[in-house]
């Protein structure tokens, strides 16, 4: 999964995780957002999500664009960063 997964933060935390996953999937599938085919979306505790794309070039495009998620008329700037597959010593 290395090179294909991005970490996303900044989405509304009051939404249920399944709704967040749906909103993020729709946003990151759209070609106008630099997106493409998604292999997996995981919404984690602490207002963080991991999105794994089918192709690493899609993840690279996503990282180079600014993303704003619209939910019920409100706009949420998303922070999108590369996600390393390795665990840090603090996560073990």
Domains and CATH numbers, the chain: 6-79 (3.30.70.330)
Q: How far apart are CA 81 and CA 46, in angstroms?
A: 16
> Nearest-CA neighbor of 6 among 84, 86, 64, 83?
83
pTM for the whole structure: 0.86
Report the 10 Å Cβ neighbour count for 69. 20
The arithmetic mean of pLDDT across residues 28-49, rounded, is 94
- pLDDT at residue 86, rounded to an integer: 43
The whole-number pLDDT of residue 1 equals: 52
44-70, pLDDT tens digit by residue? 988 899 999 999 999 999 999 999 999
Q: Which of 5, 42, 1, 37 is nearest to 21 (CA)?
A: 42
Contact assessment for residue 13 and residue 89, using Cβ atoms and an 8 Å cutoff: no
């Amino acid at each position: 999964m290395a090179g294909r997964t991005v970490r996303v933060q900044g989405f509304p935390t009051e939404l249920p995780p399944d709704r967040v996953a749906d909103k993020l999937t729709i946003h990151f599938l759209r070609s106008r957002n630099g997106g493409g085919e998604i292999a997996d979306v995981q919404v984690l505790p602490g207002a963080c999500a991991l999105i794994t794309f089918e192709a690493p070039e899609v993840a690279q495009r996503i990282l180079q664009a600014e993303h704003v998620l619209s939910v019920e008329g409100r706009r949420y700037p998303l922070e999108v960063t590369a996600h390393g597959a390795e665990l840090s010593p603090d996560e073990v």
